Amino acid sequence: MGSTDRIVRFIAAAVIGVLYYTGTISGTLGLVLLILAGVFLLTSFISFCPLYAPFGLSTCSTKNR
């Protein structure tokens, strides 16, 4: 996972967390988004997204030889 992907996931998780804790989003949608934010945080900290592997995706930059 590239650094841009990690930063975007972290910011998205932070925004969802703030919206949930301020009461802007609530109920079932709020809980689903809060769980998604947790997954975003986890994957950004470990720099690995399990959904990228089966599809062969990579957001890491590669150096040209």
* pLDDT at residue 54, rounded to an integer: 73
Distance CA 63, CA 45 (A): 23
* pLDDT at residue 65, rounded to an integer: 46
- Quick check: is 63 in a domain? no
Interval 7-60: pLDDT, tens: 999 999 999 999 999 999 999 999 999 999 999 999 888 887 777 777 777 777
- Quick check: is 65 in a domain? no
Kind and range of the H or E run holding 27 = helix 27-46
- Quick check: is 47 in a domain? yes
Residue 64 pLDDT greater than 70, yes or no: no
Distance CA 57, CA 44 (A): 15
38 and 12 Cβ atoms separated by less than 8 Å: no
Range of the domain at 36: 3-55
- Quick check: is 7 in a domain? yes
Does the reported pTM lie above 0.85? no
